[in-house]
Chains A and B, each alone.
Chain A
Amino acid sequence: MGAKMVEFNGWDMPVEYPASIGCGIINEHMAVRTGVGIFDVSHMGDIGLVGPEALNAVQHISMNDASRLAVGQAQYSALLYPQGTFVDDVIVHRLADDEYFLVINAGTREKDFGWVRDNTRYFNCCLQHRSDDFTQIAIQGPKAINLLQKLTDADLSKLKFYWVTRGTVCGLKDILIARTGYTAEDGFEIYIPPAEEISTRVWQEILAAGKEFGVVPCGLGARNTLRLEGKLPLYGHEISDSISVWEAGLDRFCKMEKPDFLGKPALERTKAEGMKKTLVGLEMVERGIARDGYKVLGEDAREIGYVTSGSPAPFLKKNIALAYVPPQHAAIGSTVLVEIRGQGVKAQVVPTPFYKRPKKA
């Protein structure tokens, strides 16, 4: 489609599609906020855990409480190192009584798989590396449901957010359909067979069916700005092997009342000790765009932290960023400086997420 391609963790990925077909990061971003956009996210990895002790295994390796999942339900969670920092963040889906399906990040998939294998070997369950079993397509935006409903017999109106079902999609039987995404918008992710001719046909059929809703293909660029507006973390930026759950502010997905999981003892300790840094949302007050890795300075121009992700926010029409700063600089309304090409440019700590999708009436 003439997209601008970039290598991303060994994958050739589209950054954005051409302006000549109505794309470009801003148009792609706006389509997802106001209509519908589709993403090829086949680079995501997938791990299956199946067997009598699959739940125990998932409970051991992840911080959220998978015992609360009904069959067909999914949850955001993370795999933690013993020190309470991130191996990766994941979505855990419960597909059957004793079958769990973990969607992991592209850049960490080999590491994740090895780590899950090593830490689940004493559980009576079977581990499956399923990353190459699927082409994963995300259909995202308020009109995603209208689009996908045209192509499937599954009743999508009955599928709640963070639930998963199976149905026929574009004539393909028994396709996994999850109401999930990485855009802070309503939407679906479908897992279809990876053969190129099938993937291409489904992609084209989705584009054709979405014409009446103004569907556009979206690349990694818009995926990043959309997730940033929604404050959804990106591995290697907001979360990493040197950042803890508390620092990242992901407390609500970490169930400390769970009997035991990797990282829990360290998290109990660090919770009592308090944090040295915490993740905040910044909005640029003066002219300038904060970018990943830029320094954050206090009002006295001393270095206090760093930007993890920064960009213009196409829907909000502001320049926003996520940054780690010491807790004493984290209060909403605090002024900090972002160092841009040697200059301290004023920014303010603002509430997050920057964008929250409107509730349906």
Chain B
Amino acid sequence: MPYPTDRKYTKEHEWITADGTIGITTYAQDSLGDIVFVDLPKVGAEISAGKTFGTVESVKAVSDLYAPASGTVTAVNGELATAPEKVNKDAHGSWMVKIALKNPAELDSLLSAADYEKFVSEEAGH
């Protein structure tokens, strides 16, 4: 499974780019199954690294979204309110929120694409 190298990853299965665009990974969408609901913060909301900032629901389960970094929400992908299944089709292309990074150095401690790939292969047990 190729993970784009233009971004960083968390062990909670979110990705973030250097300009503060956030989404969830292909591995996350595959584990969740059919995504039917995405609950995101409003523009202007403050989110903090490691804390929940929203919810994603599949038919079967409710999962929290954890912020990879701290910042102020500058944009929300409104398309996901009516077409949450886009996350299943293209998790790495379906961003959820964009934030103005409070401290860009927070990204340094996140996983690279290669490290994340290694992490999920261990989590999946193969």
Q: Is residue B18 within 8 Å, beta carbon to beta carbon, of the partner chain? A: no
Q: Is residue A35 within 8 Å, beta carbon to beta carbon, of the partner chain? A: no
Are B33 and A312 in contact, with the CB atoms below 8 A? no
Are B59 and A25 in contact, with the CB atoms below 8 A? yes
Contact of B62 (CB < 8 Å), options: A4, A26, A291: A291
Are B59 and A225 in contact, with the CB atoms below 8 A? yes
A-B contact count (CB 8 A): 39
Q: Is residue A298 within 8 Å, beta carbon to beta carbon, of the partner chain? A: no
**A: number of interface residues (CB 8 Å):** 18
Are B37 and A312 in contact, with the CB atoms below 8 A? yes
Q: Which residue of A has the minimal Cβ distance to B37?
A: A289
Are B37 and A4 in contact, with the CB atoms below 8 A? no
Are A26 and B60 in contact, with the CB atoms below 8 A? no
Contact of A289 (CB < 8 Å), options: B31, B34, B57, B81: B57
A287 to B81, CA, bound (A): 9
* B residues 28-77 touching A (CB-CB < 8 Å): 30-31, 33-34, 36-37, 39, 55, 57-60, 62
Are A312 and B36 in contact, with the CB atoms below 8 A? yes
A208 to B62, CA, bound (A): 35
Are B62 and A221 in contact, with the CB atoms below 8 A? no
Find chain A residues with CB under 8 A from B88 CB: 19
* A residues 21-67 touching B (CB-CB < 8 Å): 24-26
Interface residues on B, range: 10 to 19
Are B59 and A314 in contact, with the CB atoms below 8 A? yes
Find chain B residues with CB under 8 A from A224 CB: 60
User: B72: shortest Cβ distance to chain A, in Å?
Assistant: 22
Are B55 and A221 in contact, with the CB atoms below 8 A? no
Are A16 and B33 in contact, with the CB atoms below 8 A? yes
If A15-B60, A25-B60, A291-B62 touch, does A341 touch B34 (CB 8 Å cutoff)? no
* A residues 288-347 touching B (CB-CB < 8 Å): 288-289, 291, 311-312, 314, 341
A25 to B35, CA, bound (A): 10
Are A24 and B33 in contact, with the CB atoms below 8 A? yes
Find chain A residues with CB under 8 A from B57 CB: 289, 312
Find chain B residues with CB under 8 A from A16 CB: 33, 60
B-to-A contact residues, CB < 8 Å: 30-31, 33-34, 36-37, 39, 55, 57-60, 62, 81, 88
A-to-B contact residues, CB < 8 Å: 4, 15-16, 19, 24-26, 221, 224-225, 287-289, 291, 311-312, 314, 341
Given contacts A4-B33, A312-B36, 12 further A-B contacts (CB under 8 A): A15-B33, A15-B60, A24-B33, A24-B34, A25-B33, A25-B34, A287-B81, A289-B62, A312-B57, A312-B59, A314-B59, A341-B55
- A-B residue pairs, 10 tightest by C-beta: A25-B59, A26-B34, A312-B36, A221-B60, A24-B34, A312-B59, A289-B37, A289-B57, A24-B33, A25-B34
